[in-house]
Amino acid sequence: MIQLLKFLRPYTNTVVAVLALLFFQSLGELYLPTLMADIVDKGIVNGDTRYIISIGGLMLLVAALGTSCSIGAAFLSSKTATAFSRDLRGKVFSRVESYSLHEFDKIGTASLITRTTNDINQVQQVMIMGLRMMVSAPMMCIGGIIMAVSKDAKLSLIFVVVIPVLAVLIFSVARKGLPLFKVMQGKLDKLNLVLRENLIGIRVVRAFNRIDHEKKRFNDANRDLTDNAIRVNKIMAAIMPMMMLVMNFTTIAIIWFGSIRIDNGNMQVGDMMAFIQYAMQIMFSLIMVSMMFVMIPRASASAIRINEVLDMVPEIEDADEIKEGNDKKGYVAFEHVTFYYPGAEQPALQDITFQAGPGEVTAIIGGTGSGKSTLINLITRFYDVNDGSIRVDDVDVREISQESLRAKIGLIPQKAVLFTGTIAENIRYGKENASDEEIRHAAETAQAMDFIATMKDGFESVLAQGGKNVSGGQKQRLAIARALIRKPEIYIFDDSFSALDFKTDAKLRAALKRETKDATVLIVAQRVSTVMDADRIIVLDEGEIVGMGKHRELLNTCKVYREIVTSQLSEEEIA
Ligand code: ADP
Ligand code: MG
């Protein structure tokens, strides 16, 4: 919580203004009962109407000033707190953008969303409360006690009894309620997780008739959260009536003992009335403080979760000393690379060594789960190797900045991801300042023109969220166009042709060959026809290279490759 306060620093001036306004408001409130006592004891008792009117006018004035201070403070504190949470959200977002895939795996997407929204809201609410109470509560409490004692010291002994009672009550309630608040954020994460999975997987849920099952799963998470919230609120709801009870008994006690003292001539009626009001102010301030004590732990549970996001150091960071690039272009070399996914016992890749250079096509083939995508993710440094090294343009990828490394690479991921926006915008994602001509050319090479031309608005057609309104193969071709437009040194196709029909696949590869003749091309594929004429075919099996060479050589030397080939091609095609 304290850590987060640094985000208030830009608003120091406003905070000071809020505190000052509240200071004056509290002063006014402390002054009013004394004025009232004067009216009763000096004005009414003596029947002095002019005195009553003038003091009454003063009271009105003080009350009006106090109210405007209070309004000003409320306005400014809300403004500060919302600005605070805006800054914090921005900070969390940009932090998350710098994460490597490890950190995403650790916290989880659903939790990241809750932390950026709900958790920050919790902190914001406490911030508003805290700003308003930080000055008023202690002032009203201490000021109230001073004023009460000055009215009648003996009667003030009542507080010696009441305040400890109040403290014990608040403490016992808070002890029961606080642990539940912490549990609540976790349950909210769970609810978000279920909801997110369902929204993303809605087609699967429907196709497998799992709607009832999912409804139940959601209801369970929902009920769990609700039960917890109700429990917490029940406990917290007990505070208010208990406080009221204590306050009313206090009033009775004051009137009881006060009237005895008035009877004996030790106290005046107006002073007793003022005394009651001071007692109320003291106790209300204690209640406010206790509410704060309830809210702070809840918000600090949230603050801890936010800080976790802010403090998590991305495992993959640029080296302190970044090596400048050289004039080599398009060289990729793996040297005895071994890689484990975090927590995995078996390496996903083991002792991988190969080189690829400009003008060459390197194909990677292997069964599902053999580590093809993993290998590619290492080149773009989404993960760091455990052993060995990967060199791009003869520099270790850990020594180049991530930005310049990725600028060299045009990646077409296995699962094409598009963003909400027009087709042109999506292709331009690869190169910000691309001209219309470049966009058209990239789309032509990627064989995307035929379907873009049939769309009503052509390049200006709007894609729905995640590209839902185009087919898998069309998405794939747009993703290819997005990579082509960068004209990178290294093209990486991760199984990008699998969603295409054979005819488009062949046309696309012919067009790509012209486009990428000077670049380094890495193609991951399932189909033998896609990889057959590559300069180098790497056969992966369970994370290891079991064969490397041209199609002809591998047919004779590599058993795994032969198996893949015979399962896909007929005898004549092989010969
Ligand atoms: P391919 O692309 O060849 O089908 P992958 O490279 O995706 O295979 O996966 C290789 C192996 O690594 C698989 O056994 C898979 O279970 C594991 N794996 C892939 N991604 C992760 C991940 N994020 N965390 C842990 N294990 C993973
Ligand atoms: Mg894969």
The runs of H, that is alpha helices, within 364-446 are: 372-379, 402-407, 423-428, 436-445
Please write the tens of the pLDDT for every residue from 423-470. 999 999 988 888 999 999 999 999 999 889 888 888 998 888 777 788
pTM: 0.72
- In the predicted model, what is the mean pLDDT of residues 235-240? 82
Q: How would CATH label the architecture of 332-574?
A: 3-Layer(aba) Sandwich (3.40)
Please write the tens of the pLDDT for every residue from 326-366. 778 889 999 999 999 888 889 999 999 999 999 999 999 99
Paired tokens of 473: 């193969």
Instruction: Provide, rounded to the nearest whole percent, the portion of the chain with pLDDT above 70.
Output: 99
Q: Under CATH, which number does the domain 3-311 receive? A: 1.20.1560.10
pLDDT value at position 181?
A: 79
Please write the tens of the pLDDT for every residue from 532-554. 889 999 999 999 999 999 998 99
Q: Whose CA is nearest to atom 2 of ligand 1?
A: 373
Instruction: Break the chain into its structural domains and give their ranges.
Output: 3-311, 332-574
Quick one: which atom of ligand 1 is closest to the CA of 374? 6
Rounded Cα distance, 409 and 534, in Å: 19
Q: Whose CA is nearest to atom 25 of ligand 1?
A: 341
For ligand 1, the distance from its centroid to the CA atom of residue 574, given in whole angstroms, is 31
- In the predicted model, what is the mean pLDDT of residues 222-249? 89
pLDDT value at position 575?
A: 66
Q: Whose CA is nearest to atom 20 of ligand 1?
A: 374
Of 364, 374, 415, 496, the residue with max ligand 1 atoms within 8 A of its CB, to mutate for a pocket test, comes to 374
Q: Which residues line ligand 1 (CB under 6 A)?
A: 341, 344, 348, 366, 368-374
8 A C-beta contact, residue 349 and residue 339: yes
Question: For residue 409, what are the β-bridge partners?
Answer: 490
- Ligand number, closest to the Cα atom of 104: 1
pLDDT value at position 188?
A: 84
pLDDT band at 105, cuts 50/70/90? confident
Query: What rounded mean pLDDT belongs to the chain?
Result: 89
Residue 408 pLDDT exceeds 80: yes
Please write the tens of the pLDDT for every residue from 466-519. 777 888 888 989 999 999 999 999 999 998 887 788 888 888 888 888 888 889
Which residues are CB-contacts of 30 (< 8 A; sequence separation ≥ 6)? Answer: 139, 140, 143, 144, 147, 281
8 A C-beta contact, residue 481 and residue 442: yes
- In the predicted model, what is the mean pLDDT of residues 147-172? 89
Nearest Cα neighbor of 298 from 247, 237, 232 is 232
For ligand 1, the distance from its centroid to the CA atom of residue 176, given in whole angstroms, is 45
Q: Whose CA is nearest to atom 7 of ligand 1?
A: 373
- For 21-55, give one letter per residue: b (16+ CB within 10 A) or e: bbebbbebbbbbbbbbbbbbbebeeeeeeeebeeb
